[in-house]
Amino acid sequence: MKKSHQFIVIGITILFAVIAGVCVIFYNGSRMLNSHYVRLEVNPKVEFLTNSDNIVDSVYPVNQDAYDLIIGEQFVGLPISEAVTKFLTLCAKAGYIAVDGKDNAVGLAVSSGFTQKFENEIYTTINNYYKDNLILGVIAEADSDLANFKEKKEKNVTSIEKLVIIKSILEKTDNYTFDQLNGYKESDLIDILEDLHQAYAPNLANYPSTAVYVRENRIAANKEKYDKHMAAINKDTKREFASEFEKHKKQNTSKYEQDYNAKYSEYSD
């Protein structure tokens, strides 16, 4: 066979391999996304949807603690890393993250399409928040949760990210069944969730004057502890903390990866 023919055959083979790979990705529910999904659980539970530039398009307080915490705060229009940091800071100021505690955990679920670049950005943002503020804590990722793997298998869902989004939709509306939603592509589920955010997310900018009292009272009650902790942060304490932080993660992350929802309920009581 002439070399030119060999190159043609090799090129065709590579092309078919790429096409096959793309087909497999789409078959398994992954996709190009115009929106990305982030869910954070600290006790307050909050969801963010971003555009393709990772700018927050909408924020949804999933429970009352989250509503009380973020009422009157601006998140839409922020880069997602800034929005996550702002949310974590509010959690720490209000005492939901114990700056001097050892049982802090952030539950994290992300849906971001083909690559993990977006997910890595969120993980790094949370991890750096812990380190920079000398807080012992772990990140419990939804796709590392054994309970999620079990439910994914039992309900025949293609990915844990898809499972999380389906459950989020069902939290907000009874217009669908689980099986109906499981028949949708992940990108379509994101579209449904966007509509639900627009329809049901409370107006965080227009609220009664009494709405901020809960947050302000919590922040005031925790202020002395928070301020004392922050005042002690310097280059030396950060350097000393670094090894303790890594050791803490290695020893404690696994306990949240068994069943984060059960552990979450335990420490949020």
Q: What is the DSSP string of 27-75?
A: HTT----SSEEEEEESSSEEEEEE-TTSBEEEEEE-SHHHHHHHTT---
Chain centroid offset of residue 162 CA: 13
d(C-alpha 50, C-alpha 75), whole Å: 11
pLDDT of residue 201: 86
pTM value is 0.85
Is pLDDT above 70 for 19? no
pLDDT of residue 260: 83
- Determine the Cα angle at 121 with ends 118 and 123, to 5°: 110
Q: Tell me 79's DSSP state.
A: B
Which stretches does DSSP call E strand in 54-166?
56-61, 104-111, 137-141
Q: Tell me 183's DSSP state.
A: T
d(C-alpha 248, C-alpha 250), whole Å: 6
Is pLDDT above 90 for 41? yes
Question: Nearest Cα to 76, choosing from 116, 104, 47?
Answer: 47
SS3 11: helix
pLDDT band at 85 (very low <50, low <70, confident <90, very high): very high
Phi and psi at residue 258, to the nearest 5°: -75, -50
pLDDT tens per residue, range 110-160: 998 766 899 999 999 999 999 999 999 999 999 999 999 999 999 999 999
> In the numeric block, which tokens belong to residue 96?
């939901």
pLDDT of residue 18: 43
Q: Which amino acid is at 4?
A: S
Is pLDDT above 60 for 218? yes
Query: Which of the pair, 258 or 83, is modelled with greater confidence?
Result: 83
Mean pLDDT, rounded, of the chain? 88
Please tell me the number of Cα atoms within 13 Å of 217 on its side-chain side.
7
Is pLDDT above 50 for 80? yes
Question: Nearest Cα to 36, choosing from 107, 115, 141, 142?
Answer: 115
pLDDT of residue 27: 39
Paired with 11 in beta bridges are none
